[in-house]
Amino acid sequence: MASEGRDGSEELMATAGAPRGDGIPMRPFGRHDQNISALGFGGHHLGDAPDEGTAIRIVQEAVDSGITFFDNCWEYHRGKTENWMGKGLKGRRDKVFLMTKVCTHGREAMIATRMLEQSLNRLQTDHLDLWQVHGVGWDNDPELFIRPNGAAEALLKAKKEGKVRFLGFTGHKDPAVHLKMIETGFPFDAVQMPLNAFDAHFQSFAEQVLPELSRRGIAALGMKPLSGHGEPIVNGELSAEEALRYAMSLPVATTITGIDKLEVLRQNVKIARNFKSMTTAEMQALRERTRQSAGDGRYELYKVSLRFDNPEARLAHGFPLDDQSVEVKEMMKATENTGFPFPDVKQQQQ
Amino acid sequence: MADLKGFTRRKFVHGSAAALTATMVVKPSLAAATGGGVTDNQEQVPHRPLGKTGAQVSALGVGGFHLGSIEEEKESNELVARALDAGINFFDNCWEYHDGISEARLGTALKGKRDQAFLMTKVCTHGRTKDVAMKQLEESLRRLQTDHLDLWQIHEVVYYNDPELIFAANGAAEALLAAKQQGKVRFIGFTGHKNPAIHLKMLSHDFPFDTVQMPLNALDGTFKSFEQRVLPEANKRGIAVLGMKSLGGSGEIVSRGALTAEEGLRYAMSLPVATTISGMDSLGVLEQNLAVARGFKPLTADAMQTLRERARPVAADGRYELFKTTTKYDGKVGREQHHYPTEEKLPV
């Protein structure tokens, strides 16, 4: 499947950025003079924590354990996870590399700028380390992004104003759309994508996008190391540790994984602290195990269905909503009409 | 949130035939490009050659799924009889439609008229072996009350590993050949609605397919396009193309205002296809389709380009071609075989 060259570079990259003592390994953020933790804290799952107090404790312990990369998104749980992360990072902001995402989904720059102010406010900070365009997956997203008055203009403006240090985009759908986005020529610092042992066989981001990023010195941010909600682990296809180790052994700056409980945090931190890159042979052996069930996308529903597409994106693109999704349920509860796309989640709803 | 399930085509099929026709300049030469066989009889649906099989099929086909959606058997009988009278001979069906009800309905409706019809149904192995296919064939023949099919197609080739499963030793491809050899089916083909790349992978096996079925509509013309990528390849190989989903599968293209039903159907029928299969769940829909199909003259290349351009902005993200961009049109049996969540657990 993979060429020798790719596997060789995997090992090289994954071992680069030596661990600090017995801490979580740090790795370079693309072409920049900046290191980030090889394990990243996924923001969406934080909203699944039972309450605000627990969420704050999870964030605090994550920072204290040596995780520096924090992921979030304007539309996760309609603002709740940004709020909770902001509270958790109080007094620890300067220890982390803070990222959130903007959810224009093709809409104009003004909406992006307004979302940035809301994100900064919720995260209780005056700047982001990384601001990314969220959920690029529809075929016309790249052209809508780069058009005059598109989100691209808002990104550049925010960087110029010092509100964000670096820029990027994320998506889980189709490597071809990622490549189209890169080909717009926009100066991206980071690109986020699903990377796991199933992706290797099926519409593969690892095969199609990773080499392009490394050529351009763009930081690769892996996500969905456990395929989103850990379905293949539940079904016994591989263990959580194998899945996470595989993803972290790819040539990425960080692997973002969702954390909704202290136990999950501790388990992931332990794996990351003991992390040794898989050998080429180990990775190949794992890929052989996943080959058959990877072939139809059953463990990567984010590529083949709307399951992981948030309502903000579906509405902007005129797609049907899923009334079982947590964001739609939260949206239904919101009654305030501000005239803007969707009302904020109010403090009392948290 | 719009609920498309509530729509039926009869609600938004408008009688704008006159308005559209007035703006069209029909070049007679184009009729030949669409497969010829266009008769001068304005009262009948024209027939076209089915690839290089020697068979002729009507340019409009009756979709089998919707036959099973009709409440009264009396009405489905009437619909089939009127379709035959209008010159339609192509009847589509599938082993898994409404758990067999669609096939049973068509079998009843064609009783005594079997020889007037070009009868197709589909087999639903979804990756399983030849013996599963042969068993389904016997069930289909029994429900359809016939001893042979004119066309037997592999249904819903939409999962990315389907081609390798179909062509694996003892797979469905072998069943197609066996059935043909046994005289139980005259011609063989496959269908799918997901991705042109999957269709091309199927064709790359150089298997003697007589037909290939795919979604063809004005929006497809510019988005993940079967028209651009698969249609020319099939034409080149002399494989008959069967169009479907001319209005988006459940009329999304029409109900959301991208095109009128007439424009949508006219566009699809103007492509170089043998037939365009349209689901009809009432006599009213049949009549509206017949208003387009009787004495059908293809649109000019310019008129088609105009429709494609008009639809382009909403075509570009696949919002009205949900069969390509979501799992909405992926059936129960295929989901089971591929270990996908059920429709309830994985809604659109």
Residue of A nearest to B346 (CA): A307
Alpha-carbon gap: B219 to the closest alpha carbon of chain A (Å): 14
d(CA A206, CA A251): 9
Query: How far is CA B233 from its chain centroid?
Result: 18
* Domains within chain B, CATH numbers bracketed: 4-337 (3.20.20.100)
Contacts of A323 in chain B (CB under 8 A): 1, 347
Confirm if B342 and B335 have CB atoms less than 8 A apart.
Answer: yes
Alpha-carbon gap: B3 to the closest alpha carbon of chain A (Å): 8
Contacts of B338 in chain A (CB under 8 A): 296, 298
Residues 214-233 of B with CB under 8 A from A: 223-224
Residue of A nearest to B3 (CA): A320
What range does the domain containing A193 cover? 4-349
- Structural domain count of chain A: 1
Please give chain B's pLDDT, 348 residues, in tens: 333 333 333 333 333 333 333 333 333 333 333 444 445 578 999 999 999 999 999 999 999 999 999 999 999 999 999 999 999 999 999 999 999 999 999 999 999 999 999 999 999 999 999 999 999 999 999 999 999 999 999 999 999 999 999 999 999 999 999 999 999 999 999 999 999 999 999 999 999 999 999 999 999 999 999 999 999 999 999 999 999 999 999 999 999 999 999 999 999 999 999 999 999 999 999 999 999 999 999 999 999 999 999 999 999 999 999 999 999 999 999 999 999 999 988 877
Contacts of B161 in chain A (CB under 8 A): 295-296
Alpha-carbon gap: A344 to the closest alpha carbon of chain B (Å): 20
Whether residue A296 and residue B347 make contact (CB cut-off 8 A), yes or no, is: no
Whether residue B341 and residue A301 make contact (CB cut-off 8 A), yes or no, is: yes
Please report the pLDDT score of residue A348 as a whole number: 39
Whether residue A293 and residue B2 make contact (CB cut-off 8 A), yes or no, is: no
Task: Label residue A224 exposed, middle or buried (CB < 10 Å: 0-12, 13-18, 19+).
Answer: buried
Substitution target in B317, B329, B343 with the highest count of A β-carbons within 10 Å is B317
Tokens at A87, concatenated: 């509270």
Contacts of A137 in chain B (CB under 8 A): none
Whether residue B1 and residue A320 make contact (CB cut-off 8 A), yes or no, is: yes
**CATH number of the domain residue A208 falls in:** 3.20.20.100
Please report the pLDDT score of residue A328 as a whole number: 86
B81 touching chain A per CB within 8 A: no
Tell me which residue in B319, B325, B340 faces A298 most closely, judged by beta carbons.
B340
Confirm if A124 and A117 have CB atoms less than 8 A apart.
Answer: no
Alpha-carbon gap: A282 to the closest alpha carbon of chain B (Å): 25
Whether residue A324 and residue B319 make contact (CB cut-off 8 A), yes or no, is: no
Alpha-carbon gap: A45 to the closest alpha carbon of chain B (Å): 20
* E-only strand ranges, chain A: 26-28, 35-37, 39-42, 69-70, 97-102, 128-133, 164-170, 190-194, 219-223, 254-258
Please report the pLDDT score of residue B171 as a whole number: 98
What's this model's pTM, rounded to 2 decimal places?
0.87
Contacts of A306 in chain B (CB under 8 A): 325-327, 348
Substitution target in A319, A321, A324, A342 with the highest count of B β-carbons within 10 Å is A319
Strands B211-215 and B56-58: unpaired
Residue A194 φ then ψ, to 5°: -75, 130
Please give chain A's pLDDT, 350 residues, in tens: 333 333 434 433 444 444 444 599 999 999 999 999 999 999 999 999 999 999 999 999 999 999 999 999 999 999 999 999 999 999 999 999 999 999 999 999 999 999 999 999 999 999 999 999 999 999 999 999 999 999 999 999 999 999 999 999 999 999 999 999 999 999 999 999 999 999 999 999 999 999 999 999 999 999 999 998 899 999 999 999 999 999 999 999 999 999 999 999 999 999 999 999 999 999 999 999 999 999 999 999 999 999 999 999 999 999 999 888 888 888 777 655 556 665 555 443 43
d(CA A342, CA B2): 18
Tokens at B198, concatenated: 């999957």
CA distances from residue A40 to A157, A212, B86 in whole angstroms, order as listed: 27, 22, 65
Q: Which residue pairs, CB below 8 angstroms and at least 24 apart, start in B162-167?
A: B162/A296, B162/B126, B162/B127, B162/B192, B162/B198, B162/B202, B163/B198, B163/B201, B163/B202, B163/B205, B164/A295, B165/B127, B166/B125, B166/B127, B166/B190, B166/B202, B167/B205, B167/B207
Whether residue B319 and residue A319 make contact (CB cut-off 8 A), yes or no, is: yes
Whether residue A306 and residue B340 make contact (CB cut-off 8 A), yes or no, is: no
